[in-house]
């Protein structure tokens, strides 16, 4: 049985020993045993109103990370018990029980809605009525939402193998696998599919570009190099999704760096020491990142130089940042949504959801975004 280790700063990100081991235990190798102090929220001068356009619900996540999918005005969401639902303007369009416990979702291109299970089952439904269209098998547990395009459904297993399926019938098109270290963080971040590329982060600090048509490796970039004497010290994994702006793609590693590369060649553009499991956002000016202590930082997109730092949300287990309407948005372990000025990092807005943790990334919709909580709350929010 695999041995699991829990990281105190990000309780839904697990460390898994991939080599076959007997016995099963749970412990926290990164904690001194002291209770972590979560930053208290101070009053702010709000200049941005976070407006709830509508709210609905799906079954609870039960500790898993379920990212909603957005296609136009439609929002697709799922819960651990196997229920997948579609909403539009706050009205439920359909609900389907796939009769299996889910571990990841949702991916959609507006035609297909795809979810997955801890047994490696990939399930595709019609976006129109929720009818199950096909079921396929990945080779391992799936924790990351599938990426869906008109040409393929790309799925990342918890062992970091990549699987591509034909969206028409679920036929497996290709599998990509590379050697990984014996100790690796489990990743809930999806792959990024752009044109002919499929991008994914890997243990050992690597970002890999794979050809979408056949799974052949196109280039490999080094985000971080493992350091230290023990296996725990040497964890330097890219577990958050890469981000793209123009011809620049960036990724971040735990106990490693932020690094940006040329999209086509994989040539390094710049890198800065940083550690994150939460991930990045990018716009035409800056890269925004949340580190392991909950500090949000902005870096110049072209040089990597530091622009600002916001440390008043320490240990609040922040989500991947998101840029909307020229501001930076993130959510936390109490279901709070925080809005920051992208030029200074100052707080300019705040809102509550249902009080339960937000562990899934915020998903853009129009000028706003959609939030799904651990309790199963689905909120469409806008900034005014």
Verify that 320 and 383 share a domain, yes or no.
Answer: yes
CATH of residue 114: 2.40.128.630
Total domains in the chain come to 3
| Domain boundaries, position 152 | 66-187
Do 100 and 167 sit in the same domain of this protein? yes
The verdict on residue 139 lying in a domain is: yes
- Please identify, among 137, 156, 187, the residue that sits at the C-terminal boundary of a domain: 187
Q: Which pLDDT score is estimated for 1?
A: 35
Would you state the pLDDT for residue 19?
Answer: 34
Residues 202-251 have pLDDT tens digits of: 999 999 999 999 999 999 999 999 998 888 989 999 999 999 999 999 99
| pLDDT confidence of residue 34 | 58
Same domain, 76 and 1: no
3-state secondary structure 186-241: CCCCCCEEECCEEEEEECCCEEEEEECCCCCEEEEEECCCCCCCCCCCCCCCCCCC
Provide the pLDDT for residue 105. Answer: 87
Q: Are residues 84 and 175 in the same domain?
A: yes
What's the mean per-residue pLDDT of the chain? Answer: 91
pLDDT, greater one: 293 or 30? 293
Residue 345 forms part of a structural domain: yes
Give residue 179's pLDDT band: very low, low, confident or very high (50, 70, 90).
confident
Provide the token pair at 141. Answer: 């547990």
How far, in Å, CA of 73 to CA of 90, rounded? 10
| pLDDT attached to residue 30 | 44
| Boundary-marking domain end, from 140, 155, 187 | 187
46 shares its domain with 144: no
32 and 119 within one domain: no
If asked whether residues 70 and 60 sit together in one domain, one would say no
Claim to verify: residue 378 and residue 333 sit in the same structural domain: yes
Facing residues of 154 across strands? 147, 164
**Is the residue at 209 inside a domain?**
no
CA atoms within 13 A on the CB side of 290: 29
Per-residue pLDDT for 25 more than 70? Answer: no
Query: Residue 228's pLDDT is what?
Result: 87
Lowest mean pLDDT among 6-10, 66-70, 147-151: 6-10
Indicate if 25 and 89 belong to the same structural domain: no
- Give me the mean pLDDT over the 252-272 stretch: 97
Q: Poorest-confidence range of 33-42, 164-173, 225-234?
A: 33-42
pLDDT digits (tens, 9 = 90+) for 107-153: 999 999 999 999 999 999 999 999 999 999 998 899 999 999 999 99
Report the CATH number at residue 359: 2.40.10.480
Is it the case that residue 321 has pLDDT exceeding 70?
A: yes
- pLDDT (0 to 100) of residue 28: 36
Whole-number pLDDT of residue 135 = 98
* 75 within some domain: yes
Q: Place 20 in a pLDDT band, splitting at 50, 70 and 90.
A: very low
Asked if residue 70 and residue 20 are part of one domain, the reply reads: no
pTM: 0.91
Point out the least confidently predicted range of 225-229, 262-266, 297-301. 225-229
E strand spans, 306-374: 306-310, 322-324, 327-331, 336-341, 347-352, 363-365, 368-372
- Do 119 and 47 reside in the same domain of the chain? no
In a domain, 309, yes or no: no
Query: DSSP string spanning 130-194?
Result: --EEEEEE-SS-B-SPPEE-SS-EEEEBTTS-EEEE-TTT--EEEEE-----SEEE---PPPEEE
The answer to whether position 302 is within a domain reads: no
In a domain, 300, yes or no: no
Supply the DSSP symbol for 258: E
Shared domain for 162 and 126, answered yes or no, is: yes
Q: Per the domain annotation, does 31 fall within a domain?
A: yes
The string of pLDDT tens digits covering residues 356-376 is 999 999 999 999 999 999 999
* pLDDT for residue 23: 28
Domain ends where: 187, 210, 226?
Answer: 187
Averaged pLDDT, 23-32 = 35
Question: Is it the case that residue 14 has pLDDT exceeding 70?
Answer: no
């Amino acid at each position: 049985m695999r041995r699991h280790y829990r990281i105190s700063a990000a309780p839904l990100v697990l460390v898994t020993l991939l080599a076959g081991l007997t016995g099963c235990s749970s412990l926290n190798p990164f904690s001194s045993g002291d209770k972590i102090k979560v930053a208290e929220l101070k009053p702010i001068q709000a200049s941005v109103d976070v407006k709830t356009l509508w709210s609905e619900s799906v079954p609870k996540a039960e500790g898993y990370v379920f990212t909603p999918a957005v296609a136009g005005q439609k929002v697709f969401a799922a819960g651990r018990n196997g229920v997948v639902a579609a909403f539009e303007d706050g009205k439920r369009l359909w609900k389907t029980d796939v009769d299996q416990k889910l571990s990841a979702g949702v991916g959609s291109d507006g035609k297909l809605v795809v979810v997955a299970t801890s047994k490696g089952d990939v399930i595709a439904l019609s976006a129109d009525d929720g009818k199950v269209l096909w079921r396929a098998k990945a080779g391992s547990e799936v924790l990351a939402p599938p990426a869906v395009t008109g040409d393929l459904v790309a799925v990342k297993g918890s062992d970091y193998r990549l699987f591509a399926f034909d969206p028409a019938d679920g036929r497996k098109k290709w599998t990509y696998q590379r050697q990984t270290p014996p100790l690796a963080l489990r990743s809930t971040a999806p792959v990024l599919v752009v044109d002919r590329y499929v991008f994914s982060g890997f243990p050992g600090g690597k970002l890999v570009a794979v050809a979408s048509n056949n799974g052949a490796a196109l280039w490999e970039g080094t985000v971080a190099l493992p350091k230290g004497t023990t296996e725990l010290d040497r964890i330097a994994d890219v577990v958050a999704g890469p981000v793209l702006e123009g011809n620049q793609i960036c990724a971040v590693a735990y106990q490693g760096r932020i690094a940006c590369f040329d999209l086509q060649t994989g040539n390094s553009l710049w890198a800065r020491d940083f550690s994150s499991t939460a991930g990045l956002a990018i716009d035409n000016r800056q890269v925004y990142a949340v580190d392991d202590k909950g500090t949000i930082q902005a870096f110049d997109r072209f040089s990597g130089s530091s622009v600002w730092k916001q440390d008043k949300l320490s240990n609040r287990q922040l989500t991947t940042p998101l840029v909307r309407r020229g501001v930076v948005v993130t959510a936390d372990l109490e279901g709070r949504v925080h809005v920051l000025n992208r030029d200074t990092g100052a707080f300019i807005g705040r809102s509550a959801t249902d009080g339960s943790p937000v562990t899934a990334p915020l998903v853009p919709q129009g000028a706003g975004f959609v939030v799904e909580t651990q309790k199963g709350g689905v909120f469409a929010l806008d900034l005014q």
